[in-house]
Amino acid sequence: MSSHEQPIAPTEPSQDAVSTADPAKPQPSSEQGASLPAGEESHLQKPTPMSKNALKRIRKQKEWEDGREDRRLKRKEKRHAHKFKVRAERKALVEAGVDPSIVYNRNKRAGTLVPVAVVIDCDFEQYMTDKERISLSSQVTRAYSDNRNARYKAHLWVAGFSGKLEERFNTVLQAQQRSWKGASVFAGDFVACAAEARAQMARKQTVSQMAEGEDAAEEANQHQQLLIGPLQRSLDTPVPWPRDAHDPFPLPDPEPPLDPAFRDVVYLSSDSPYTLERLEPNTTYVVGGLVDKNREKGLCYRRARERGIRTARLPIGQFMVMQSRQVLATNHVVDIMLKWLEFEDWGKAFLSVIPKRKGGKLRQENEEGGVEEAEEEAGDGEPAEEAGAADEPKGAGAA
């Protein structure tokens, strides 16, 4: 090489050279760039197609949502037709000479608040399907209605009010819980809710009914609660709390001691080895808001036991004989306790609440009739009869 020659610089490959590259070897592209981080999908990947059943569920849900206004109008027309019918029947009775106070039920007294709290523990969302959560919301609204219309009303609370249950109330049920009277919702667990219920009862002035007699007026203002005869008798004579000889849900570990800070709380569960004899004043009774077709055995009982909370089961087996083994819905358990406050008789309370189609009979009547006995259990809020919601889709899940 002479001194006049310059070194040749390397040149970039021409377009023709690039096009003639081996097609079998993948060429890097500006779109792909570096490899994607772990767990991140490329936008070039196609989404997984939905199954036919999933598409069918979405279509049914959309059809249900589209028909919501039509259903509302039909319900409104039905209510108006029922009102006109009742007015016509009452008018005919009055014209026939029946006492108007009886026809129009003017002597009916408003419900009286008593120093008893009922907490529905709804903190079981992860154990239920969408359809079961819809059923639970219906049972909660039915429990509120039963308590509102009861002769003796309890302090009603809904614990674990969050997640999809709260979403359904705020959307489908139009946030009706915000207008509830005598009932409250609580996002925390049942133990914290029981503490709130205790404080609420303490803020009310307790008036004894026994001082003026059983037949005295049952009027109490908004700052008072009435200590009715059944609760007064439970206070005068301490309620026994013996352990049953038969343990329906034996556990291997020894029973932990009770939490002294929550001795006034009782969790109702059919798996408890204790039987509820009477309701006590200034006590909170927790009902499991669990709709799972009895898949989760002993879930409510274990939850209460681990927290050092007293447990008990309703004495259905002592008073009733059923034709089949069933579990009571959440609203049924609440209503049975409200009926006991009115009758002070578990047999009457069970007969007035448990659906007749279940063939339940009092043990005395059963012995006379010779019907074969079957066992009935009061459950952790699982449905014996699902309370129908006013706007609940059939055959399609909803939040």
Which residue in 121, 123, 146, 292 is the catalytic one? 292
Q: Which two tokens stand for residue 258?
A: 């009770």
Catalytic residue status for 345: no
Please identify every residue annotated as catalytic. 292
